[in-house]
Structure 1
């Protein structure tokens, strides 16, 4: 199993996405920086979902809302 890494800063993620959109490959960026190429591909896909270019998953806002609702639901079950 891979090593655990603290989440990358949103600014760093955005910078990696912009570099890919400017023509750099995720593999090239993975060699230069720490995240794997797959991680960078995932960030680009999520960015495309958030901007409406892709519709194959949840946007970041939808994912955050789902997490909040699940937490609230768990708390309500405990209180009941």
Structure 2
């Protein structure tokens, strides 16, 4: 899913924030795994990334573990992902 918001006010609400800017594979996904583990079901995590590999790795992470990627913006930097824990 790739959606570019018209303005920051259109971004989903989130309870948690993970900024992986400047980090490269595998660190962003390892940090994502730790962050999601500490969340409650239904909570939303905003992930900020600069590693292009996250466009592949984060959707696969969500699919494999059954979490929902409710929004992503991979058209500009930084890359943004909003993940809802199941």
Q: Which has the higher contact order (CA 8 A, sep 6+)?
A: 2
Give the alignment's TM-score, normalised by structure 1.
0.27
Higher strand residue share: 2
